[in-house]
């Protein structure tokens, strides 16, 4: 008996399960690279944050050093000075190792450069560098540069003080002490020849009235001088103008407002009470007559005074008129126009004192009156527009007859 064969079974094929070894290794490799990259990123961020913190600390140290240098209160330290008081002359180069409480040590290096040029001795070029080593043993540096001036720190207070007088318009848009007939070169400077008989030409800073150059231009009229002509001598000097007029009176009593008399041959002498750096310490020009008789009624004078550069840009001294006899039959008495013009109960340098003290600016209208010997210097009068008096004519004795 034949049996019917069993029909073939149609079981579905078994699907593969799990992850092949190669795929697992590849995934592990990718994950490892990712973890390494993440670890590297974290390390880089930590290093960058640490470097940023160190750089900020270095900048703070450099600024602290710079601000300490700016806190000087004196130009020159006095004898037996307080060690806690910083003077300008005390600012010297130094190296300082500091521990700022960080994970590294900082080295602060201060470098000082004092220019040797005549006009630049009143400043110091300062560089403060802070160096350190970061986590990766790399050398790092932060540098700050600045310039310190010898100017007295007390001048900063003047910015908060109201002016004593109403502001007035400057003649020609420049300092009022610059002579009116000085030529403006249009580059914030002016040129002036102090005497028609000299080849000397002075260069003024229009803003400050300081003489910044002394030139020798014998064949060039002032009206024809250009900026190119003074280029080589524009900044070769530092001096202050001292100028005024000398009037003469032969009448008795003398009228200081309208003196009547003719000019005499004379010269000027500046007796310095400080120790000037340059010799000669001054140079004066005038237009006094060489001989008598003369029809000239007054003498105009202009002096350049060189300050004491070594410690400050100031000068002190006394201006006298010489070669006019103070004794004998033709003796004269020399008075100076001087009064407390600004009402501050003292005679300042601009008000023509007998002796100038610590002058640091140009002085003009320092006028004299020469009267016969034996007369008292006229008291004159103050300004009084109601009586037609528009100038103060008070005078004080300056050089009297010798006993």
Residues 318 and 285: beta-carbon distance below 8 Å? no
Report the C-alpha gap between 388 and 385 in whole angstroms: 5
Report the C-alpha gap between 312 and 318 in whole angstroms: 19
pLDDT for 120 equals 47
**Residue at a domain's end among 118, 150, 182:** 150
Q: Nearest to residue 125, comparing CAs of 141, 140, 137, 111?
A: 111
pLDDT for 245 equals 97
Residues 254 and 375: beta-carbon distance below 8 Å? yes
Residues 116 and 262 grouped into a single domain: no
Residues 403 and 376: beta-carbon distance below 8 Å? no
Residues 242 and 391 grouped into a single domain: yes
Residue 19 falls within a domain, yes or no? no
Across 322-344, b (16+ Cβ under 10 Å) vs e yields eebeeeeeeebbbbbbbbebeee
Secondary structure (3-state) at 387 = helix
Residues 246 and 130 grouped into a single domain: no
Residue 302 falls within a domain, yes or no? yes
Q: Nearest to residue 239, comparing CAs of 270, 268, 267?
A: 270
Residues 282 and 391 grouped into a single domain: yes
pLDDT for 323 equals 95
**Residue at a domain's end among 132, 150, 168:** 150
Residues in the chain: 403
Q: Which long-range contacts (CB under 8 A, 24 or more apart) does 119-122 make?
A: 119/212, 119/235, 119/238, 121/309, 121/310, 122/149, 122/150, 122/151, 122/309, 122/313
For 220, phi then psi, to 5°, come to -120, 115
Residues 130 and 141: beta-carbon distance below 8 Å? yes
Across 44-66, b (16+ Cβ under 10 Å) vs e yields eeeeeebbeebbebbeebbeebb
DSSP assignment, residue 223? G
Residues 267 and 391 grouped into a single domain: yes
Residue 77 falls within a domain, yes or no? yes
Residues 111 and 247 grouped into a single domain: no
Residue 82 falls within a domain, yes or no? yes
Residue 181 falls within a domain, yes or no? no
Q: Which ranges of the chain have pLDDT less than 50?
A: 118-120, 166
Residue 185 falls within a domain, yes or no? no
**Residue at a domain's end among 150, 172, 207:** 150
Order of strands across the sheet with 189-192? 183-184, 189-192, 200-205, 211-216
pLDDT for 166 equals 46
pLDDT digits (tens, 9 = 90+) for 74-131: 777 777 777 777 888 888 888 988 876 677 889 999 998 876 554 446 788 899 999 9
Residues 136 and 250 grouped into a single domain: no
Residues 369 and 264 grouped into a single domain: yes
**Number of separate domains in the chain:** 2
pLDDT for 23 equals 79
The token pair that represents 208 in the structure block: 């400050």
Domain coverage including residue 256: 238-399
Residue 290 falls within a domain, yes or no? yes
Instruction: Give this prediction's pTM.
Output: 0.61
Residue 187 falls within a domain, yes or no? no
Q: Nearest to residue 87, comparing CAs of 3, 9, 148?
A: 148
pLDDT digits (tens, 9 = 90+) for 336-373: 999 999 888 999 999 999 999 999 999 999 999 999 99
Residues 253 and 394 grouped into a single domain: yes
């Amino acid at each position: 008996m034949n049996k019917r064969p069993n029909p073939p079974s149609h079981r579905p094929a078994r699907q593969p399960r799990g992850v092949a070894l190669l795929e697992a290794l590849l995934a592990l490799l990718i994950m490892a690279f990712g973890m390494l990259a993440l670890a590297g990123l974290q390390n880089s961020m930590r290093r960058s944050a640490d470097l940023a913190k160190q750089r900020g600390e270095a900048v703070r140290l450099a600024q602290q050093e710079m601000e300490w240098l700016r806190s000087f209160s004196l130009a020159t330290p006095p004898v037996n000075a307080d060690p806690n008081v910083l003077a300008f002359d005390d600012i010297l180069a130094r190296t300082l190792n500091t521990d700022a409480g960080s994970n590294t040590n900082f080295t602060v290096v201060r470098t000082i450069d004092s220019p040797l040029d005549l006009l630049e001795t009143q400043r110091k070029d300062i560089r403060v560098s802070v160096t350190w080593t970061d986590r990766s043993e790399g050398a790092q540096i932060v540098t700050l540069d600045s310039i310190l001036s010898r100017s007295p720190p007390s001048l900063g207070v003047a910015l908060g003080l109201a002016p004593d007088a109403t502001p007035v318009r400057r003649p020609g848009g420049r300092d009022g002490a610059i002579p009116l007939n000085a030529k403006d070169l249009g580059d914030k400077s002016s040129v002036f020849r102090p005497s028609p008989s000299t080849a000397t030409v002075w260069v003024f800073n229009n803003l400050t009235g300081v003489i910044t150059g002394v030139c020798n231009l014998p064949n060039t009229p002032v009206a024809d001088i250009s900026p190119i002509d003074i280029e080589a001598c524009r900044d070769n000097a530092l001096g202050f103008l001292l100028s005024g007029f000398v009037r003469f009176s032969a009448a008795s009593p003398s009228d200081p407002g309208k003196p009547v008399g003719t000019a005499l041959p004379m010269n000027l002498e500046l007796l310095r009470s400080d120790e000037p750096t340059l010799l000669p310490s001054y140079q004066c020009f005038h237009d006094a007559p060489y001989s008598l008789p003369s029809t000239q009624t007054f003498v105009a004078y202009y002096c350049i005074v060189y300050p004491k550069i070594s410690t400050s840009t100031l000068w002190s001294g006394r201006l006298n008129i010489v070669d006019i006899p103070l004794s004998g039959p033709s003796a004269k008495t020399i008075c100076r126009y001087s009064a407390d013009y600004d009402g501050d109960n003292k005679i300042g340098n601009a008000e023509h004192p007998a002796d100038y003290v610590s002058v640091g600016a140009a002085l003009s209208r320092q006028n004299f009156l020469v009267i016969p010997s034996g007369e008292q210097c006229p008291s004159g009068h103050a300004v009084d527009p109601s009586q037609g008096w528009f100038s103060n004519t008070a005078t004080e004795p300056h050089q009297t007859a010798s006993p």
